Structure 1
Amino acid sequence: MQAELEMVKALLGGSKRVVALTGAGVSAESGVPTFRGRDGLWRNHRPEDLARPDAFKAHPELVWEFYNWRRELVAGCKPNAAHYALAELERQVPNFLLITQNVDGLHAEAGSVKLMEMHGSLWRVRCTKCTHAREERDPLPPLPECPVCGHLLRPGVVWFGEPLVPGVLKVTIDQITKAEIFLSIGTSSLVQPAASFPQLAKDHGAVTVEINPDPTPISGLFDFALHGKAGEVLSELITGLDD
């Protein structure tokens, strides 16, 4: 893999436009639990059955209990070498965009600014009635109320069956089609719309690079597949880029 890594490093050194996509594998290196949890259940509920608009409408207190539990778990996690390496890559590349499927906020904590949080953030809340939205790191009551209109607040994440925040997909696609290098990090890219991003980048002439501990079902699509921990691979890739 060393030869491929050096080739990717050389390409990054001369690139003006880079788009990176990250998934749960990056956060796992910080100890962030996977969405399903160790046994696939949370209090006998499948998490994917709770992360839905209809579940929130029917059982808002249960859904908020689930999200407050997730917030407590993530609160103790810190950015890892991969998060910091991507923040540094942003500083080195003139036109850079980081797209993440993660909702833990660790990329922003590590210093990433040119960041698209496709699925929102555990640390944002928004009103179910008015336009009020804010970041909230403090513990929340079982049924938090909007300070503006008094209606129920909800987690600022994109649930199953909901569209992405308006404009997010448009900006993402626009940047991917202009990228010289597309990095897919810690994700198998099997869930839409992210599943289409590597092929979209490739179709528009980008060099595509996968960084993952193990091969994924779409590893063969990429020009380079670098197998290893994201923190280790990315740290090596950015070393000396500013020389």
Structure 2
Amino acid sequence: MEKIVILTGAGISAESGLGTFRDEGGLWAQHRIEDVATPEGFARDPQLVHGFYNARRAQAAKAQPNEAHEAIARLQRDWPGEVVIVTQNVDSLHEGGGARDVIHMHGTLAGALCAACNHHWTAPPEMAVGEPCPACAAPTARPDVVWFGEMPYHMDDIYDHLAGARLFAAIGTSGQVYPAAAFVHEAAMAGARTVELNLAPSTGASSFDEVILGPATETVPRWVDRLMGQR
């Protein structure tokens, strides 16, 4: 049966109360991306960066999965073929909605990373400057989140899945952040049908075979129902 690969972005979590970095008034609006989401920013002011991600971690812990997360989990559970979920989001709302084996290409707020030895472990609710790594004891703990200028995780696995996809869907993505913005082209070259579900057309909307506009909590459940009816 067909393999479906789904890429999700900040737009799917926005309706759970987690704003995108382009939202006015949210956590991102209070800081420049260069200051809180780059290795250089962390080197300049690790206290600022830890404070920002501590706030994001607390915000994400209060958020609840919405109908879009639950619909994708239902598709993964009931589709007779494989459904691979790749997310640019660092929250755990997909898992909270019932999804499994989610590929977090940008890391997770729940993780910590040693900048010295690359060891990964579960982050405490609040991280502080100088926390020692449990593996090498270096005082270089940072959030296990992929920052701008860093290579996303699991890229080989993602490209393998895209090569085998018969359907590729991008949900709630801006189409502005690479390499994810190019996934539609990878899938299309492999022969997949492509669909975008978004509140408004993304930068790369013209590259998709189909574009479905509206809130994710409305469009995604309807799209899943349609797919399941076509089995």
* TM-score between the two structures when normalised by the length of structure 1: 0.84
Instruction: Give, in angstroms, the shift of residue 61 of structure 1.
Output: 1.5
Give the conservation status (yes or no) of the 8 Å contact 2:22–2:29.
Answer: no
Distance, in Å, in 2 between the alignment partners of 1:173 and 1:98 is 13
Q: Which structure has the greater CA radius of gyration?
A: 1
The within-5 A match list for 1:154-193 is 154-165=142-153, 168-193=154-179
Distance, in Å, in 1 between the alignment partners of 2:52 and 2:74 is 34
The within-5 A match list for 1:108-187 is 108-136=95-123, 138-151=125-138, 152-165=140-153, 168-187=154-173
Corresponding residue number in structure 2 for 1:104 = 91
Instruction: Give CA deviations for 1:162-204 in whole Å, capped at 9, x if unaligned.
Output: 1123xx1111111112111101101132211011111221122
Distance 1:16 1:137, change over 3 A: farther
* 1:83 matched to 2:61: no
Give the conservation status (yes or no) of the 8 Å contact 2:58–2:125.
Answer: no
Identity %: 41
Distance 1:37 1:229, change over 3 A: closer
* 1:222 matched to 2:208: yes
Unpaired segments of 5 or more residues in structure 2?
none
Match of 2:59 among 73, 76, 79: 73
The letter for the 1-side match of 2:142 is R
Instruction: Give CA deviations for 1:131-151 in whole Å, capped at 9, x if unaligned.
Output: 532223533345433234332
SS in 1 for 2:113: strand
Distance, in Å, in 1 between the alignment partners of 2:187 and 2:61 is 34
Match of 1:201 among 170, 187, 190: 187
Distance 1:155 1:205, change over 3 A: same
Distance, in Å, in 1 between the alignment partners of 2:26 and 2:126 is 25
Count of residues in Structure 1 that have an aligned counterpart in Structure 2: 227
Give the conservation status (yes or no) of the 8 Å contact 2:6–2:85.
Answer: yes
Distance, in Å, in 2 between the alignment partners of 1:90 and 1:209 is 17
Instruction: Give, in angstroms, the shift of residue 44 of structure 1.
Output: 6.1
- Once the two structures are overlaid, the 10-residue window that deviates more, 140-149 or 169-178, is 140-149
Distance 1:56 1:187, change over 3 A: same
SS in 2 for 1:209: strand
Unpaired segments of 5 or more residues in structure 1?
1-14
- Once the two structures are overlaid, the 10-residue window that deviates more, 117-126 or 222-231, is 222-231
Distance, in Å, in 2 between the alignment partners of 1:222 and 1:83 is 22
Distance, in Å, in 2 between the alignment partners of 1:199 and 1:43 is 31
Distance, in Å, in 1 between the alignment partners of 2:217 and 2:18 is 14
SS in 2 for 1:239: helix
The letter for the 1-side match of 2:149 is G
Match of 1:61 among 36, 47, 71: 47
The letter for the 2-side match of 1:111 is G
Distance, in Å, in 2 between the alignment partners of 1:220 and 1:192 is 17
Instruction: Give, in angstroms, the shift of residue 124 of structure 1.
Output: 0.4
Give the conservation status (yes or no) of the 8 Å contact 2:199–2:216.
Answer: yes
